[in-house]
Structure 1
C-alpha cells in the first residue's frame, strides 16, 4: 500500500459493494482502479496526471464516471451506514450545516452551451457569491462526526432552503426486513436554519431540535406580545455539540479534490464527496 491508497481494511469493506460485470472481456483490477480514484480525490491532480501504476487514466476516469452516474458511491455509503446501524454504532443526534468550496476555473469551463439533460442541472452546481465561483456542500452527520447525507448546490444557495431536502436524503437501510431509517432523534443547527417552516417540519415528524433563534425573530415575537407565542426551547449544553459537523467538514477537506472543486459536473463532484465520506466511515468502524 502506498500513500493516498486504500488500506486492506478499507478495501475489505469496499470490495463486496462494487458492482461487477457478469460477462465481457476481463477488465482492469478493481482495487487498482479504486486506488486511482482515491489518489485523484486525495491529491486533486488532473485525471491525465494519474501515475502509471493505476493503469490508463481513461480507464480510471471512465469507471469513476460510470459509478457516479449510477449512484454507486451513494449506495456504498448507505451500506456501510446500514452495517453501523445494525451494530448500534450510529448516534442519531444529527448536526446539519454547510461549507463553501471554491470552484476552480476547470470546473467552470463546462463547454456546454445548450444546458444539460437528465438530472444534471444547467448551472452544474456552480454559483457566484462574494468569493467568486463557488459550490456549497450541505451535510448531515451523526453524533460521532460521520456523514449521513449530503447535498451539493451553487454557492449562493441559502442554508434554510436546503434543510428539508438534506434531511430527506438521510436513508439508512436495514440489514434485515424493514424500511430504511430516515428520521433522526434530534437535530442541531445554527441560526441560518431558524425559520418557522423548518421548525414546523421537524415537529410534524416528531424530531426534537436545538436551533438558536435569530435576534430579529426574537424582537418580532416580543413586539406581538401574547400573540407572538412562546420562545422555542433551546438547550445550550446540547448546542455545544454542534462543532462535530465542523470537524467533519475539516476531515473531508483533507481531500484536496474536495476542498477545491475541479469536477465539471455536479454528479462527479457529489460522487467524490460520497467516496470520501465512505472512507471516513471505514476508518471509524
Structure 2
C-alpha cells in the first residue's frame, strides 16, 4: 500500500481558527521543539510530522519547532517506521512508494528516497494544482483530523516537549487501535 506523508503546523497556542487563549499562557511557552511560527513570528510554535499507510493508520510521528523546514524531517520519518510483522520471513521496513505534498519537494531528498528503494511521488513547487496526487494525500489529511481531535494536541499547552511528544504518540496508538477494531 502507498505511504503518505505530510506535516502540519500544530501551533502552540493558536487553534485551527487562529483563536488566542483567554489566559496569558501564550507569552511564556518555551522549551524544546518550539520555534517561531512561519505565519506569526512573534509566537513560539511546534509542528507535527506524520507518515501513514494507505488507509490512514499512523506509522510514525515527529515533533519539531514551528520554524523547521518540512523537508528536513522526511528521512527521519522514514527511519522511524517500525518493522511490519505478519507474513513469514523478514519484516518489511520500507514502503513501496511515498506520496508527499509540496513542503517535501527537494531534489536531494527525492534522490535519497529513491536510493532507499522507494518511489517518490512528491508534488513540485510552483506547478498548478490538479496533479492527481490529492487523491492519495487526503488520507493523511484525514489522519491529522483524527489526531487533532484530541484537544491536548490541537493547541500545545505543555512546556516540555517530551510530554507533548508522548501525548502525540499515545494519540497515534489510540487511532491505530480504533482502525484495527473497525477492521474486525
Structures share a fold, TM > 0.5?
Answer: yes
Partner of 2:35: 127
CA distance in 1, matches of 2:27, 2:46: 10
Tell me the SS of whatever aligns to 2:59.
strand
Partner of 1:240: 135
Question: Which string of whole-angstrom CA distances, capped at 9 and with x for unpartnered residues, describes residues 77-97 of structure 1?
Answer: xxxxxxxxxxxxxxx311111
Tell me the SS of whatever aligns to 1:188.
strand
Tell me the SS of whatever aligns to 1:283.
helix
Is 1:263 matched with 2:158?
Answer: yes
Give the alignment partner of residue 140 of structure 1, picking from 51, 76, 80: 51
Give the TM-score, by structure 2 length.
0.79
Partner of 2:8: 99
Give the TM-score, by structure 1 length.
0.53
Question: Which string of whole-angstrom CA distances, capped at 9 and with x for unpartnered residues, describes residues 169-224 of structure 1?
Answer: 111353688655321111001112111111111111111121122239xxxxxxxx
The unaligned stretches of length 5 or more in structure 2 are: 14-24
In 2, are the aligned partners of 1:106 and 1:264 still within 8 Å (CA)? Answer: no
CA distance in 1, matches of 2:85, 2:26: 40
Q: 1:263 to 1:178 in 2, by over 3 A?
A: farther
Is 1:283 matched with 2:178?
Answer: yes
In 2, are the aligned partners of 1:171 and 1:180 still within 8 Å (CA)? Answer: no
Tell me the SS of whatever aligns to 1:214.
coil
Give the alignment partner of residue 114 of structure 2, picking from 203, 207, 212: 203
Tell me the SS of whatever aligns to 1:103.
coil
Displacement, 1:124? 1.2
In 1, are the aligned partners of 2:123 and 2:133 still within 8 Å (CA)? Answer: no
Higher Rg of the two aligned structures: 1
Q: CA RMSD in A?
A: 2.4
